[in-house]
């Protein structure tokens, strides 16, 4: 039985609202799986959510508060939200101009391999960037998608952080398209504090604004191709 995925574009949405909605869908898939047990006719539901967030910093369960460079007063004055969340990874920034993608997949219907799953998320972005004639890659020891340069720092263009429960996924990837990169200055992105690594965006690499809907279309297509599913 072919996997079928429902895509929902949530637009510009607060982090809390999107997190709550992800959690509802995640629980729905898990509860339905438990209820159906080994039923051979069971059809799993899968969702692909796309959105942009209002400015927010999120800290993963393995992250350090030391990587947030604002104190409570400065954070309040900045009007940035802040959440400690249950994904892997350290601290990152989300805001307008960044494409955030949340796959809510039951991986038992694709493959039971979390490392392969993360590599597939990276590959979706790598293939999308190739359509803009940008060569991106993985960097050993660091999750996410990078643009390498022998004459300058490696530039991270996409962060990834995931959580799984009974093989149903939560959270996902954050792809800098037209992001305000100055907002990364209030954190040590992903806890990486070395001069040879920085952050970038598709706009910065191309030297022009990028059509967000165009990127969403490409991302959706590469997800379907890699994970071998159809949209419904």
66 pLDDT band (50/70/90 cuts)?
Answer: confident
The pLDDT value given to residue 70: 83
Q: 89, 62 in Cβ contact below 8 A?
A: yes
Q: Considering the chain, what percentage of its residues have pLDDT values greater than 90?
A: 66
Query: Alpha-carbon distance 66 to 78, whole Å?
Result: 18
Query: Alpha-carbon distance 81 to 97, whole Å?
Result: 17
Token pair, residue 100, equals: 């955030």
Q: Is the per-residue pLDDT at 155 higher than 80?
A: yes
The pLDDT value given to residue 41: 66
Looking at the DSSP bridge assignments, the partners of residue 57 are 82, 93
Higher pLDDT, 140 or 28: 28
Give mean pLDDT, residues 75-85: 83
- Collapsing DSSP to helix, strand or coil, 211 comes out as coil
- The domain tally of the chain equals 1
* Catalytic residue (one of 190, 199, 202, 219): 190
Q: 81, 57 in Cβ contact below 8 A?
A: yes
* Residue whose token pair is 């080994």: 38
Tell me which residue range forms the domain holding 86.
Answer: 3-231
| Residue 190 annotated as catalytic | yes
The domain spanning residue 182 has which CATH number? 3.30.930.10
The pLDDT value given to residue 188: 76
Query: Alpha-carbon distance 145 to 175, whole Å?
Result: 9
């Amino acid at each position: 039985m072919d996997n079928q995925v429902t895509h929902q574009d949530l637009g510009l949405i607060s982090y809390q609202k999107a997190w709550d909605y992800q959690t509802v869908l995640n629980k729905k898939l898990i509860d339905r799986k438990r209820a159906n047990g080994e039923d051979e006719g069971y059809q799993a539901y899968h969702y692909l959510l796309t959105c942009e967030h209002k400015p927010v910093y999120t800290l993963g369960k393995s992250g350090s508060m030391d990587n947030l460079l604002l104190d409570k007063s400065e954070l309040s004055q900045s009007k940035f939200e802040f959440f400690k969340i249950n994904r892997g990874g350290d601290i990152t920034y989300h805001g307008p101009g960044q494409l955030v993608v949340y796959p809510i997949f039951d991986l038992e219907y694709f493959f039971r391999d979390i490392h392969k799953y993360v590599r597939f998320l990276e590959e979706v972005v790598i293939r999308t960037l190739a359509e803009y004639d940008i060569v991106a890659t993985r960097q050993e020891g660091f999750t996410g998608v990078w643009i390498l340069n022998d004459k300058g720092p490696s530039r991270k263009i996409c962060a990834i952080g995931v959580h799984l429960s009974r093989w149903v996924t939560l959270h996902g990837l954050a792809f800098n398209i037209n992001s305000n990169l100055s907002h990364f200055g209030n954190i040590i992105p992903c806890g990486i504090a070395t001069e040879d690594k920085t952050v970038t965006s598709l706009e910065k690499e191309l030297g022009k604004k990028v059509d967000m809907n165009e990127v969403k279309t490409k991302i959706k297509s590469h997800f379907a191709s890699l994970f071998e599913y159809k949209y419904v």
